[in-house]
Structure 1
Amino acid sequence: MKLPDLKSQLKKVRRASKRRSIQLIISLSFTVVSILSMTFMTLAFYANYINTARQTAIDNNEQIIDQISWNLNSYLRNMMGISNSMYYNVIKNMDLTSDTMTKEMDLLYAANKDNLISIACISQDGALISAAPIATRKSGVDFTEQDWFTSTEEKIENFHFSTPHVQNMFESSNYRYYWVVSLSRSVDLNYMGHQRRGILLVDMNYSAIEQMFSRVNERGAGYVYLIDGDGEIIFHPQQRAINSGLAKENNAKAASYNDGNYIETFEGNQRSVIVKTVGYTGWRIVSVMPISELASNFNQLRLFMLIIISVTVFLILFGNVFISKIVTDPIRRLEESLSEIEDGRFDAERIYIGGSHEIRHLGRAIKSLLVQMRNMMDERVAEQKEKRKSELNALQAQINPHFLYNTLDSVIWMIECEKYPEAISMITSLATLFRISLSKGNNIISIKDEVTHAKNYLAIQQVRYKNKFEANIDIDPAIEDCITIKLIIQPLLENAIYHAVGDLDDEGEIDIKGYERDGDIYIEVRDNGMGIPPEVLENLLVEKTESKGKGSGIGLWNINQRIKLYFKDDYGLSIESELDEGTTAIIHLPKLTYEEYKKGVENEKK
C-alpha cells in the first residue's frame, strides 16, 4: 500500500472513531477491560496449573522410580543373600578335598528357582566345582573367558553384576537357554586347610527384572529403562529395536548424570529425564517423559478452558451490550429526536423525555427551548410570508400606464367616430377589469372570476388590435368554483399578445383551456407565435425577469412565485415552447374550494 493510501485510510479510521456512539464506547471499553482482565487471570491460572501439573507429573515419576528402585534393590539384596548364604553357610565350612556342595546347592536352588536360572562354583583356573540345577559344562566353554569371570578377577572384593546375556554354558536336555544377569563374587575354597580362590556365580532370571520394568512402562506416559554404570542398557522397552539399530536412546548421556531431574533435547525433542542410582550395582534407573506428552495431557484442559473463555467472552459481550443499551438507550433516543431538528422538523412533541433524572431534565430543557424557537420561527416566517405576499401582490396589481392610456385613447376615438356601443362595451370591460383586479382586497378568487377578468382583458385588446388574433376559451365548468390567485391568467395573455400574436396579420390564435387531472387543476394559455429560444426559456422561471418594451412589466417569475407561496412548491407555472410552433404556459393549482382553503390556512396558523 502506498503512503498516500495509508494516510487516507488512517483519516477514515479517525473520522469513524469520532462518529462512534456512546453505547459503542461503553460496550467496547467494558468488554476490552473485562476480556483483558479475564485473559490475564486465565493465563496466570493456566501457567500456574501447567507448572503445577508438570511438577506433579515429575513428582509422580520420581515416586515411581523410587518404588521400582526399592523393588529392584529388594530383588538384588535377595540375590546377594542367596550368594552370601551359599558362601558363608556352605563353602566356608566345607573341605573340598573330601566334601561336595552339590546337595546344598541343589537345595538352595530349589528354594529360589523362581528367581534363579543357575548357581555355580568355579575354581580360579576355570574348573567347574559344582553347579545347580545342571552340573555339566558344555564342551568348548571356557569359564575364564567369560566377562563375569574376568571382572571378578579384577576386583575380588566386590559383587559384580553383568549386563543381560544368554546363559548357555551348561548342557540342557531341552536346549532352552535363558536371559540372565550374572551376580559373581570371589570366594575362598578350603582344600585341607589351604585356601584357594574361586568364583561363586549366581545367574538371576532376567525376566524378573523385565517384568518389574514392564509393569511400570504399561502406564503409557513416557517410559523407564535401566543401564549400568557405563551406560550399557540392561533393560529398555524398545531394546530389540535399539539392538537392531531401528531406534536410539541417549543412554550414554544418562550415564553421566547424577541423581536428579534434567531437561534434555534428544533427536530434536525436548524431554524430562529423572535418574536414580541403584545401590550395590552402580546401575541407573532412567525415567524419560517427552515434554510433548506432558503438554498433551493438557489438551483436554485447553479445550475446556477455551470453551469456558468463549462462553465467558460471549456473556461479557452480551452483558456489556445489554447494560450499555439500558444506560445509553435514552441518550440515543434523545439524540435521534434531536436529529429531526437538524433535518428541519421542529416538532417539540417528538423530543424524547425518559431515562435517568439527568437525561429527563436535559430532554425537558431541549423541548422548552425548541418550543420557544418554533414560536419565534413561526412568527418570523409568517411575517416574511405576509411581506412577500404583499410585495408580489402589489407588483401584480400594477396596471401598465401605456395599456391604460391606449385603452382610453381607443375609447375617445370610438366616441368621436360615434361608435357608441363599442365605446360602452370597452368602458364596461375596463370597469370589470378594475373591479376584479381590486376584488375587495382579496388575493384568492374563484377560477370563474379569474376567467372573466381574462375575457374582459381580451375584449379590450381585440378592439385595440382590430381583431388581429382569435381567442378561444374552454374552461371545464366543474372547476369554475375552485379557487386561484387573482391576476395570473391576464399576464400570460399579455405576454402572448405583445410577444407572440400581436404582430401577426389575422393569423394569431390564443387558446385558454382549464381542466382537472389527477385531482389537480391545470390552466393552459397557448399561442401560435414564433416560440421562445431554449436559452431564454430555461431562465424564464428561475430569474426575476421583466418583459422588455411592451407589456405590464411583470415577469413570469412573479406568477410562479405567487403560486408556490400560496399553495406550496408542489404547484406553480411551467413553460413549453417550440420555435415556429408557439408557446404554452401551464398553470398547476390544487383543487380547493374557498372553504377548504380557509380551513387549511387556519390549521397552518395553529
Structure 2
Amino acid sequence: MKKRIMFIFATATLVPFTCVVLLSYHAMSNILSGNLENSVRSNLKQVELAFEGTISNLNHVTQQLAFQGSIGKKVDALLSSGDPFERTVLSEEIHTELNLISFTNPTIGLVMYYSQDDGSFMFNNTIVKEDYEIDGLPLLAEYFRISYFGPHVSNERYNDEFVISALRRMDVSGELDDVYVYVESGFETSHHIFENKVGDFSSYLILDNDKRIAYSDAAAAFPMNDYFDDSGGAGESGMLNGYYWFKSTSNQGWSIVSLIPKDEYNQEKNRWVTQMMYLSILFLAVTLLIAWLLWKMVYIPLHQFNREIKSITQKNTPPRDELATNIPEFDFLIKQLQNMKLQITDLIGEVEQKEKRRADLEVEKLLYQINPHFLMNTLDTAHWLAALNGNKELDKLILSLNKLLYYNLGKRGQASTIREEMDSIKQYLTLQKIRYDFEFDVRIRVDDRALDIEVPRFILQPILENALYHGLDDDGHIQVDVASHEGSIVISVQDNGAGISEEEIEKLLNEQQVEQQRAGMGIGLNYVKRMIDNQYGDQASLDIRSERSKGTTVYLKLPNREVLGIDQSIDRG
C-alpha cells in the first residue's frame, strides 16, 4: 500500500504539473517571442521614423540652399559676378543667412557648398576636415538631383560621430554646373537614433535601395558594402549568420534591419527552462515526502476503519466502543457508521411492517373485488327470474342496471371509447325514465368518426346526470352532440331547463369537492374535471354556458390523440 500511495500521489501530482509546465512553456515561448518581436518592430518603426524625419529635414535645408531658395540665388549671383565689391556683399549676406539657418535648425551639423570638379568647398558653417571625403561616402538612397549618405563619420573637424548627409545639385547659370549643396545631420541626432535599441545586445544594419549594407553595427557577420540576403526569411524576419533579423523598409526604398543574437534571443526561454528543472526536482522530492507522511498518517486509521466496517456488515453485531484514531475525520466517520447501522436496523423493521400492511391491503382489495362480483351475480339471477315470470319491465330494468353497474364499477380512468360511453348513457337513460314521473327527451348525435376514439371511462354520464337532475322539468329535452373537429373531440350536453347563474358556474368549475358535496350538486362535474386534468393536462377543457330560463350547455373538449400522433397514456386496466 505504501508503494501504491507514493506512486499514485506522485503520478497525480507530477502529471498535471508536467502538463502545466509544457503548456506554460508553449505559452511563455509564444508570449516572449511575440513581445520581443513586437518590441523590435516598434523600435524599428521609431528608428525608421527618426531616419525619415532626419532625411526630410536634410531635404528641407538643401532645398533652401539650392537655387530655388534665397541663398541659392545669391550663391548663383556671386559665382556669376565679376565685381569684387558685389561679391563681398553677397558673401557676407550668404554667411549671415547660413548662420541663421544653422541656428534655426539645431538638428543640422556641417553645411557647405561643394564643387565636384576640384573638390573645393565654400561657405561652410563649421571647420571641415582636411581629408574630408564625399565621393566615397556610403550611398543610402539616390533620387532626382539629390543623394543621401550614411550613416558615416562626419566630415566636420573634431567630430568623429556617425551622421547622415545629403548632397543636392544646384541650378546655377553659366559654366559652373558642378556645384552641390552638402548638409550633415547633427551628431546628437544620429547618436539618439542609434541609441534607441531593444537591448545592449541588438545591432542595426542600414540597407540601400539595392539591399547593399550601407551601415553595420555587426561588421564581423555583416560587412559593409556586402549585400543582405533575406531570401531565407519569412517576409520581414528570419535568421541569418547566427542572428535573428527583423527588417523595416521605408517608403523611399531603403531599409533598417535589427539584429538579435540567437543566444540572447533564447536567453529568457533557457533561463525559464532551467528554473523549471530545478522546480521539478524540488517538487518531486516534496511530493514523495508528503506521500510517505500520508501513508504514515492514514494507513493505521484506515486499518481500524476497515475492521469496524466488517463488524457492521455482520448482522446483529452490537456496535463497538468508540475507537480513537486521533484523527477527527475518521472518528467522525466511525461514529456515523455506527449511527447508520442503528438506522438500517430501524428501516428493516419499518419495511417489515409495511410489507405486512401491504399484504393486508391486498386481502382487502380482493374483498372489494368479490363484493361487486357477488352483487352482479345476484342481479343476473334476478334478471332470469323476471324473464321466467314474464315481467318484461322488471327484466328490462334489471338488465339495464346490471350493464350500467358493470360499466360504472370498472376502474376509473381505464380506456373506453365513445361508443361504449354512448351505450352506458342509453342504459342509464332507461333506468331514469322508469324512475322519473315526467316525460323528457334525450337526443344523441354522434359523429361516426368519433365512435372508436378512446376516452377515459365514465366521462359522459356525470355531465348527463347533472343536466337531468338540475336542469329539467316537465317536457324537457337534452341534446347530446359528439363531433370530431380539427384534431379534437368536442362533446356538448345541452338542456332547456331553468339555467344557472355565473356565480354557480364559478363554484361548479373552481370550488373544492367538499363544498360541492355540501351543496348537493357538482360532484360528477368535479370528477370529470379532475379526470381530464389528470389524463390530458392543458390539452383538454371543461366549460359551462347558461342563460336563465333558456337552459345550460356543458362543453367538453378532448384531444384526439390518434389524429395528433400522441402516445396513448390512458390506463387500459
Q: TM-score range by the shorter chain?
A: 0.3 to 0.5
TM-score after normalising by structure 1: 0.35
Larger Rg: 1
